Amino acid sequence: MRRPVDHLLELLADYDRDMLSRRQFVQKASLLGLSAAAIAAALDTRSTSARAARQATPPTGATTPNGERMSAALVTPQKTGDLGPVDSMVDGLNRGGKELNYDVKVVEVVQGEYSEAVRSLASSGTNLVIGAFPPMIDAINDMAPQFPNQRFALIIGETPDVIPNVVSYWELGLEGCFLVGALAGLYSKSGTVGGVLSIRNPEQDRFIAGYQQGVKATNKNAKFVFNVIGGNSPFEDPATAKRLAQLLQEQGADVVCGGGGQSIQGIHDAAAASNGALVSMGMDRDQCLRRPDSTLASVRIYEANMVYKVMKANRDGAWTPGNFLVGIKDGGEDICTFDNSHPVDHQDPETGHVLGPKLPQDVRDMIWNLRQQILDGKLKVENKVQE
């Protein structure tokens, strides 16, 4: 069992890397049981002047490009601090700010504010306005033509038609989910793999299709059963996700996959509370590293890289407008290195996994072999949900 100091050091490291705002640090430290005084003492070790100095120093191996200082803003209808896609995008934004000479900001919006937020940023001269998720599609689609000298991007979304000053990136979803589903099919003893999805839309349906085909690829007698959260906040409702995951467990599932966003944390909560009867599969970030004893693998979605890529294209003048679905080969998604292996072409091989390394080597090799088949074009995951 990890000591509280280990968790605190981890939070401080995330704070130093600008992965957490001060508010987020305070919230998470409070959950660890730290008093207000202890939190203040921890933050005092990171003085404003020292933190500013760290922010002003480019990361090792990176150089701040010469040229005019640019500005970029991320507009998101989902809140930061989700431990998933939004935080990943913020990571990419901050990296781009440091390495590519940008002033950056994050703007959280609610329904009814989308277009006005984009208009306000563009009117103020923001060089690059990045909208997050499908709810921002209409705002970017409507505003971008009105500001032809500025550039816009969608991360996890696409415009109906190509607009010269807009680029969009959306993970394919099929391939990463296929591999995680294949691992779930091999791992499941009950033959029932569950899924908790946020809503039914093209992205979530690609997740479902990938999971379904992956499970069947390694266990033809297994079944993939899924529930949908729905409601007003389907991507920010971990309580409902936990309840649905527990319902799937009651129906015989011993592995549960998810559909991303903050809601997926509820699935991990259900697995952690099951005393080993249920394991979870993560998404976006490598959730195994947060819940190593109850999370087997994660679908890695590289939103951070997507944000950084559009910032670099804007900086370099290498802008290519259009809508791009990016899979494993394109750097948009993958399966995490669940067994602590280091595939030569994996973007972020990480160690610290607990369940995966315990699997038989043959099982682990099978998953990586399936991945290679995808990369070689020998295995194609179909974009079709079996209802």
Return the SS3 of 277: coil
Low-confidence ranges of the chain (pLDDT < 70): 1-9, 19-20, 29-30, 32-66
- Report pLDDT for 374: 96
Q: Which tokens sit at 142? A: 């409507």
Helix (H) / strand (E) element for 154: namely strand 151-155
- Report pLDDT for 8: 57
How far apart are alpha carbons 4 and 277 in whole angstroms? 26
Is the Cα dihedral 359, 360, 363, 368 positive or negative? Answer: positive
pLDDT tens profile 108-125:
999 999 999 999 999 999
How far apart are alpha carbons 214 and 177 in whole angstroms? 7
Give CATH superfamily name and number for 70-171+305-326.
Answer: Response regulator (3.40.50.2300)
Are 118 and 74 spatial neighbours (Cβ–Cβ below 8 Å)?
A: no
Q: Which tokens sit at 318? A: 């290498």
- Report pLDDT for 22: 74
What are the distances in angstroms from CA 125 to CA 70, 71, 350? 10, 8, 39
pLDDT tens profile 45-56:
554 333 333 333
Are 185 and 217 spatial neighbours (Cβ–Cβ below 8 Å)?
A: yes
> How would you class 146 by CB atoms within 10 Å of its CB: exposed for 0-12, middle for 13-18, buried for 19 or more?
exposed
How far apart are alpha carbons 114 and 131 in whole angstroms? 9
Are 139 and 115 spatial neighbours (Cβ–Cβ below 8 Å)?
A: yes
Amino acid present at 205: D
Q: Where are the domains of the chain?
A: 4-51, 70-171+305-326, 174-301+337-375
How far apart are alpha carbons 120 and 256 in whole angstroms? 42
How far apart are alpha carbons 147 and 118 in whole angstroms? 10
- Report pLDDT for 249: 97
Q: Do domains 70-171+305-326 and 174-301+337-375 have the same CATH topology?
A: yes
CATH of domain 174-301+337-375: 3.40.50.2300
Percentage helix, strand, coil for the chain under 3-state DSSP, each rounded to 5: 45, 15, 40
Phi, psi at 132, each rounded to 5°:
-110, 130
CA quadruple 34, 39, 45, 49: dihedral, nearest 10: 160
Instruction: Collect contacts of 378-383 with beta carbons under 8 A, ≥24 apart.
Output: 381/174, 381/175, 381/178, 381/209, 381/210, 381/213, 381/214, 382/174, 382/209, 382/213, 383/174, 383/205, 383/206, 383/209
Return the SS3 of 209: helix
- Report pLDDT for 78: 94
